[in-house]
Protein backbone atom coordinates (compact mmCIF):
# COMPACT_ATOMS: atom_id res chain seq x y z
CA UNK A 1 0.00 0.00 0.00
CA UNK A 2 1.24 3.48 -0.78
CA UNK A 3 1.30 6.56 1.38
CA UNK A 4 1.11 10.29 0.64
CA UNK A 5 3.97 10.79 3.12
CA UNK A 6 7.29 10.07 1.38
CA UNK A 7 9.70 7.58 2.89
CA UNK A 8 12.46 9.19 4.94
CA UNK A 9 16.07 8.15 5.33
CA UNK A 10 16.26 9.83 8.73
CA UNK A 11 17.64 7.40 11.33
CA UNK A 12 14.91 8.34 13.82
CA UNK A 13 11.41 6.96 13.49
CA UNK A 14 10.09 9.28 16.21
CA UNK A 15 11.59 12.47 17.59
CA UNK A 16 9.80 14.31 20.40
CA UNK A 17 11.25 17.68 21.35
CA UNK A 18 10.35 19.92 24.28
CA UNK A 19 7.04 18.18 24.92
CA UNK A 20 4.76 19.58 27.57
CA UNK A 21 1.47 17.87 28.34
CA UNK A 22 -0.94 19.00 30.99
CA UNK A 23 -4.57 18.72 32.04
CA UNK A 24 -5.70 21.96 33.59
CA UNK A 25 -2.99 22.96 36.05
CA UNK A 26 -1.61 19.42 36.31
CA UNK A 27 1.60 19.09 34.30
CA UNK A 28 2.35 15.50 33.22
CA UNK A 29 5.43 16.05 31.03
CA UNK A 30 7.63 19.12 30.92
CA UNK A 31 10.30 19.69 28.25
CA UNK A 32 10.32 15.95 27.52
CA UNK A 33 12.63 14.58 24.83
CA UNK A 34 12.24 11.17 23.16
CA UNK A 35 14.18 9.74 20.23
CA UNK A 36 13.19 6.35 18.82
CA UNK A 37 15.55 4.80 16.31
CA UNK A 38 14.25 3.09 13.21
CA UNK A 39 14.01 -0.67 13.59
CA UNK A 40 14.44 -0.78 17.37
CA UNK A 41 12.15 -2.04 20.11
CA UNK A 42 11.86 0.69 22.73
CA UNK A 43 10.21 -0.01 26.07
CA UNK A 44 8.61 2.81 28.07
CA UNK A 45 8.37 2.41 31.83
CA UNK A 46 7.59 4.61 34.80
CA UNK A 47 5.73 4.77 38.05
CA UNK A 48 2.00 5.33 38.38
CA UNK A 49 0.99 8.79 37.22
CA UNK A 50 4.10 9.45 35.15
CA UNK A 51 2.06 9.59 31.96
CA UNK A 52 3.15 6.57 29.96
CA UNK A 53 -0.16 6.14 28.14
CA UNK A 54 -0.54 9.92 27.91
CA UNK A 55 2.78 10.05 26.06
CA UNK A 56 1.70 7.34 23.61
CA UNK A 57 -1.67 8.97 23.00
CA UNK A 58 0.01 12.33 22.44
CA UNK A 59 2.43 10.90 19.88
CA UNK A 60 -0.42 9.35 17.88
CA UNK A 61 -2.50 12.52 18.05
CA UNK A 62 -5.20 11.59 20.55
CA UNK A 63 -3.97 14.22 23.02
CA UNK A 64 -2.95 17.75 22.06
CA UNK A 65 0.36 18.83 23.62
CA UNK A 66 0.61 22.17 25.38
CA UNK A 67 4.04 22.74 23.83
CA UNK A 68 6.73 20.98 21.84
CA UNK A 69 7.10 19.15 18.54
CA UNK A 70 6.51 15.54 17.52
CA UNK A 71 8.16 14.25 14.36
CA UNK A 72 7.16 10.82 13.07
CA UNK A 73 8.91 9.26 10.07
CA UNK A 74 10.24 12.66 9.05
CA UNK A 75 6.81 14.32 9.24
CA UNK A 76 6.03 17.01 11.81
CA UNK A 77 2.66 15.99 13.22
CA UNK A 78 -0.03 18.62 13.41
CA UNK A 79 1.10 20.21 10.15
CA UNK A 80 -0.10 19.79 6.58
CA UNK A 81 -3.81 19.55 7.26
CA UNK A 82 -6.23 16.63 7.41
CA UNK A 83 -4.81 14.80 4.39
CA UNK A 84 -1.30 14.73 5.85
CA UNK A 85 -2.63 13.60 9.22
CA UNK A 86 -4.53 10.73 7.61
CA UNK A 87 -1.50 9.72 5.56
CA UNK A 88 0.85 9.55 8.55
CA UNK A 89 -1.71 7.58 10.58
CA UNK A 90 -1.50 4.88 7.93
CA UNK A 91 2.17 4.46 8.78
CA UNK A 92 1.57 3.23 12.33
CA UNK A 93 -0.52 0.58 14.08
CA UNK A 94 -1.67 0.61 17.69
CA UNK A 95 -2.51 -2.14 20.15
CA UNK A 96 -4.43 -0.70 23.07
CA UNK A 97 -4.87 -2.61 26.32
CA UNK A 98 -6.84 -5.86 25.93
CA UNK A 99 -6.97 -5.33 22.17
CA UNK A 100 -9.76 -2.69 22.22
CA UNK A 101 -11.64 -4.62 19.55
CA UNK A 102 -15.12 -3.67 18.35
CA UNK A 103 -17.32 -6.13 20.24
CA UNK A 104 -20.03 -6.18 17.57
CA UNK A 105 -17.58 -7.16 14.78
CA UNK A 106 -15.89 -10.48 14.14
CA UNK A 107 -12.11 -10.72 14.25
CA UNK A 108 -11.88 -10.49 10.46
CA UNK A 109 -14.23 -7.50 10.41
CA UNK A 110 -12.11 -5.80 13.07
CA UNK A 111 -8.99 -6.29 10.96
CA UNK A 112 -10.83 -5.01 7.90
CA UNK A 113 -11.88 -1.78 9.66
CA UNK A 114 -8.65 0.16 8.90
CA UNK A 115 -8.74 -1.14 5.34
CA UNK A 116 -12.24 0.24 4.84
CA UNK A 117 -11.11 3.66 6.02
CA UNK A 118 -7.72 3.90 4.35
CA UNK A 119 -7.94 1.80 1.17
CA UNK A 120 -10.17 1.16 -1.81
CA UNK A 121 -9.77 -2.60 -1.74
CA UNK A 122 -12.77 -4.71 -2.74
CA UNK A 123 -14.59 -6.66 0.00
CA UNK A 124 -13.02 -9.90 -1.26
CA UNK A 125 -9.49 -8.49 -1.08
CA UNK A 126 -10.15 -6.96 2.33
CA UNK A 127 -11.18 -10.36 3.60
CA UNK A 128 -8.07 -11.96 2.12
CA UNK A 129 -5.83 -9.38 3.78
CA UNK A 130 -7.64 -9.90 7.10
CA UNK A 131 -7.18 -13.67 6.92
CA UNK A 132 -3.49 -13.19 6.13
CA UNK A 133 -2.96 -10.90 9.13
CA UNK A 134 -4.88 -13.25 11.44
CA UNK A 135 -2.64 -16.13 10.36
CA UNK A 136 0.45 -13.91 10.74
CA UNK A 137 -0.21 -13.42 14.46
CA UNK A 138 -0.66 -17.12 15.08
CA UNK A 139 -4.44 -17.38 15.32
CA UNK A 140 -6.24 -20.35 13.72
CA UNK A 141 -8.43 -19.81 10.63
CA UNK A 142 -11.65 -20.29 12.59
CA UNK A 143 -10.81 -17.21 14.67
CA UNK A 144 -11.73 -14.99 11.71
CA UNK A 145 -15.46 -15.42 12.23
CA UNK A 146 -15.45 -15.32 16.04
CA UNK A 147 -16.44 -12.30 18.11
CA UNK A 148 -14.09 -10.83 20.73
CA UNK A 149 -16.21 -12.22 23.57
CA UNK A 150 -15.55 -15.73 22.25
CA UNK A 151 -11.77 -15.33 22.51
CA UNK A 152 -9.36 -15.68 25.41
CA UNK A 153 -7.45 -12.63 26.58
CA UNK A 154 -4.32 -13.71 24.73
CA UNK A 155 -6.27 -14.34 21.53
CA UNK A 156 -7.90 -10.90 21.75
CA UNK A 157 -4.47 -9.32 21.99
CA UNK A 158 -3.30 -11.25 18.95
CA UNK A 159 -6.41 -10.14 17.07
CA UNK A 160 -5.59 -6.58 18.10
CA UNK A 161 -2.09 -6.99 16.70
CA UNK A 162 -3.58 -8.33 13.44
CA UNK A 163 -5.71 -5.19 13.16
CA UNK A 164 -2.72 -2.97 13.99
CA UNK A 165 -0.81 -4.61 11.13
CA UNK A 166 -3.64 -4.32 8.61
CA UNK A 167 -2.08 -1.40 6.72
CA UNK A 168 1.49 -2.73 6.80
CA UNK A 169 2.72 -0.01 9.19
CA UNK A 170 6.28 1.13 9.80
CA UNK A 171 5.71 1.66 13.54
CA UNK A 172 3.84 -0.50 16.03
CA UNK A 173 2.69 1.05 19.31
CA UNK A 174 1.84 -1.37 22.14
CA UNK A 175 0.15 -0.35 25.40
CA UNK A 176 0.76 -2.95 28.12
CA UNK A 177 0.71 -5.87 25.62
CA UNK A 178 1.31 -8.63 28.18
CA UNK A 179 -0.93 -7.27 30.97
CA UNK A 180 -3.34 -9.92 32.19
CA UNK A 181 -1.50 -12.82 30.59
CA UNK A 182 -0.03 -15.73 32.51
CA UNK A 183 3.78 -16.12 32.36
CA UNK A 184 3.66 -18.63 29.50
CA UNK A 185 1.21 -16.52 27.51
CA UNK A 186 3.29 -13.38 28.13
CA UNK A 187 6.47 -15.14 27.01
CA UNK A 188 4.78 -16.40 23.85
CA UNK A 189 3.50 -12.90 23.14
CA UNK A 190 7.01 -11.50 23.54
CA UNK A 191 8.23 -14.04 21.00
CA UNK A 192 5.46 -13.01 18.61
CA UNK A 193 6.43 -9.33 18.86
CA UNK A 194 10.10 -10.13 18.35
CA UNK A 195 9.35 -12.30 15.32
CA UNK A 196 7.07 -9.69 13.77
CA UNK A 197 9.59 -6.92 14.38
CA UNK A 198 12.34 -8.84 12.65
CA UNK A 199 10.34 -10.24 9.76
CA UNK A 200 8.48 -7.00 8.97
CA UNK A 201 11.26 -4.55 9.85
CA UNK A 202 9.06 -2.73 12.36
CA UNK A 203 9.92 -0.03 14.83
CA UNK A 204 8.16 -0.99 18.09
CA UNK A 205 7.29 1.36 20.96
CA UNK A 206 5.99 -0.59 23.93
CA UNK A 207 4.60 0.61 27.25
CA UNK A 208 5.01 -2.16 29.79
CA UNK A 209 5.47 -3.03 33.43
CA UNK A 210 6.74 -6.48 32.51
CA UNK A 211 10.45 -6.69 33.31
CA UNK A 212 10.72 -10.02 31.50
CA UNK A 213 9.50 -8.32 28.32
CA UNK A 214 12.02 -5.52 28.71
CA UNK A 215 14.90 -7.96 28.98
CA UNK A 216 13.56 -10.31 26.31
CA UNK A 217 12.86 -7.99 23.39
CA UNK A 218 13.72 -4.33 24.09
CA UNK A 219 16.84 -2.76 22.62
CA UNK A 220 16.55 0.30 24.85
CA UNK A 221 14.24 1.55 27.60
CA UNK A 222 12.84 5.04 28.21
CA UNK A 223 12.18 5.70 31.90
CA UNK A 224 9.65 8.43 32.70
CA UNK A 225 10.83 10.22 35.83
CA UNK A 226 10.52 13.83 36.99
CA UNK A 227 8.28 14.65 33.99
CA UNK A 228 11.09 13.77 31.56
CA UNK A 229 12.75 10.67 30.08
CA UNK A 230 16.01 8.87 30.64
CA UNK A 231 16.74 6.56 27.69
CA UNK A 232 19.41 3.88 27.44
CA UNK A 233 20.05 0.16 27.62
CA UNK A 234 19.10 -1.45 30.92
CA UNK A 235 22.72 -1.94 32.08
CA UNK A 236 23.43 1.75 31.48
CA UNK A 237 20.19 2.85 33.17
CA UNK A 238 21.12 0.84 36.25
CA UNK A 239 24.19 3.06 36.64
CA UNK A 240 21.94 6.08 37.23
CA UNK A 241 21.66 6.95 40.89
CA UNK A 242 17.91 7.54 41.00
CA UNK A 243 15.78 5.80 43.67
CA UNK A 244 13.00 4.67 41.32
CA UNK A 245 15.39 3.34 38.68
CA UNK A 246 17.43 1.46 41.27
CA UNK A 247 14.35 -0.04 42.92
CA UNK A 248 12.68 -0.96 39.64
CA UNK A 249 15.60 -2.63 37.88
CA UNK A 250 17.59 -3.69 40.94
CA UNK A 251 14.80 -4.97 43.18
CA UNK A 252 13.71 -8.61 43.55
CA UNK A 253 11.60 -8.63 40.38
CA UNK A 254 14.38 -7.01 38.42
CA UNK A 255 16.93 -9.54 39.64
CA UNK A 256 14.55 -12.37 38.77
CA UNK A 257 14.10 -10.95 35.26
CA UNK A 258 17.87 -10.74 34.81
CA UNK A 259 18.26 -14.37 35.88
CA UNK A 260 15.49 -15.46 33.52
CA UNK A 261 17.08 -13.55 30.61
CA UNK A 262 20.45 -15.12 31.37
CA UNK A 263 18.95 -18.61 31.41
CA UNK A 264 17.20 -17.95 28.10
CA UNK A 265 20.45 -16.69 26.60
CA UNK A 266 22.33 -19.76 27.80
CA UNK A 267 19.72 -22.01 26.23
CA UNK A 268 20.08 -20.45 22.78
- Whether 171 is covered by a domain: the verdict is no
Q: Where are the beta strands (DSSP E) in the chain?
A: 12-23, 26-37, 41-46, 67-72, 75-76, 92-95, 171-175, 203-207, 220-225, 228-232
Are 114 and 105 within 8 A, CB to CB?
no
Model pLDDT for residues 26-62, shown as the tens digit of each residue:
999 999 999 999 999 999 999 999 999 999 999 999 9
CATH code of the domain in which 231 resides: 3.40.50.300
Are 222 and 44 within 8 A, CB to CB?
yes
pLDDT at residue 4, as a whole number: 41
pLDDT at residue 33, as a whole number: 97
- In what side-by-side order are the strands of the sheet with 67-72? 26-37, 12-23, 67-72, 75-76
pLDDT tens across the length of the chain (268 residues): 333 434 445 589 999 999 999 999 999 999 999 999 999 999 999 999 999 999 999 999 999 999 999 999 999 998 888 888 888 989 999 998 766 899 999 999 999 999 998 999 999 999 999 999 999 999 999 999 999 999 999 999 999 999 999 999 999 999 999 998 999 999 999 999 999 999 999 999 999 989 999 999 999 999 999 999 999 999 999 999 999 999 999 877 767 777 666 666 554 4
- Whether 164 is covered by a domain: the verdict is no
pLDDT at residue 10, as a whole number: 55
Give the count of beta carbons closer than 10 Å to the beta carbon of residue 242.
13
pLDDT at residue 263, as a whole number: 65
The distance from CA 26 to its chain's CA centroid, rounded to whole angstroms, is: 26
pLDDT at residue 259, as a whole number: 67
pLDDT at residue 97, as a whole number: 78
Task: Please give the tally of structural domains in the chain.
Answer: 1
- Whether 113 is covered by a domain: the verdict is no
Cross-strand bridge partners of residue 230: 223
pLDDT at residue 260, as a whole number: 67
- Whether 107 is covered by a domain: the verdict is no
pLDDT at residue 261, as a whole number: 66
pLDDT at residue 262, as a whole number: 64
pLDDT at residue 6, as a whole number: 40
CA 268/CA 262 separation, integer angstroms: 10
pLDDT at residue 236, as a whole number: 96
Query: Which residues constitute the domain of residue 69?
Result: 7-91+223-268
- Whether 175 is covered by a domain: the verdict is no
- Whether 177 is covered by a domain: the verdict is no
Q: Dihedrals φ, ψ of 23, to 5°?
A: -125, 105
Mean pLDDT, the chain, integer: 90
- Whether 112 is covered by a domain: the verdict is no
Model pLDDT for residues 184-219, shown as the tens digit of each residue:
999 999 999 999 999 999 999 999 989 999 999 999
- Whether 80 is covered by a domain: the verdict is yes
CA 239/CA 256 separation, integer angstroms: 18
Amino acid sequence: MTSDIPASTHPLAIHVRGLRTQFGSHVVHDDLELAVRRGEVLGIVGGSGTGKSVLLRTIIGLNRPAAGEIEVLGHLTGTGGAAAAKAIRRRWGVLFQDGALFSSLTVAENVEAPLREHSNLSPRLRREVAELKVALVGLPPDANDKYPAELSGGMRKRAGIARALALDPDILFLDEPTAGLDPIGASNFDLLIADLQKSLGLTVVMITHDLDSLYAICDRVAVLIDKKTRIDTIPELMKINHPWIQEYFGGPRGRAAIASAERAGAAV
